[in-house]
Amino acid sequence: MARQHQELEVALGDGIRAQRIEQRLTQDELAVRANVSLGALKNLENGRGSTTGTLVRVAHALGQDEWLRSLVPSRTFNPLDLIDARRADPHRARRVRRRSSP
């Protein structure tokens, strides 16, 4: 699973780099525009880990606000809603996991 995360970080970094190059920006220019350090931008582009803040600032500086908004859920999840739903239906059967014999 760690490998999948690393591959995704590299892919995101490649996408950021491609957007930067397409917009004919240097790393220095994008770092200034995004208000992040040059090192943070290089780490992001190289898939070496980055903060969410850096990703958001860089994506915004590249005009990718719509992409950022697509990651935000349309409805927030409240775990208390699950409790309320269970209380509303007292006849709901509880599922019991049974261990299978080896």
Q: In this structure, is residue 86 part of a structural domain?
A: no
Q: Is the pLDDT of residue 101 over 60?
A: no
- Give me the number of domains the chain comprises: 1
97 three-state secondary structure: coil
Give which of 48, 69, 49, 47 is closest to 59, Cα–Cα.
69
Q: In this structure, is residue 39 part of a structural domain?
A: yes
Q: In this structure, is residue 8 part of a structural domain?
A: yes
- Segments forming the whole domain that contains residue 22: 2-70
CB atoms within 10 A of CB 46: 15
The pLDDT score that the predictor gives to residue 32 is 98
- pTM of the predicted model as reported, rounded to 2 decimal places: 0.68
User: Which CATH number do you get for residue 29?
Assistant: 1.10.260.40
Q: For residue range 1-29, list pLDDT tens digits in order.
A: 667 888 889 999 999 999 999 999 999 99
Measured between alpha carbons, how far is 45 from 12 in angstroms, rounded to an integer? 7
Q: In this structure, is residue 21 part of a structural domain?
A: yes
DSSP state at residue 74? S
Measured between alpha carbons, how far is 19 from 54 in angstroms, rounded to an integer? 15
Q: In this structure, is residue 98 part of a structural domain?
A: no
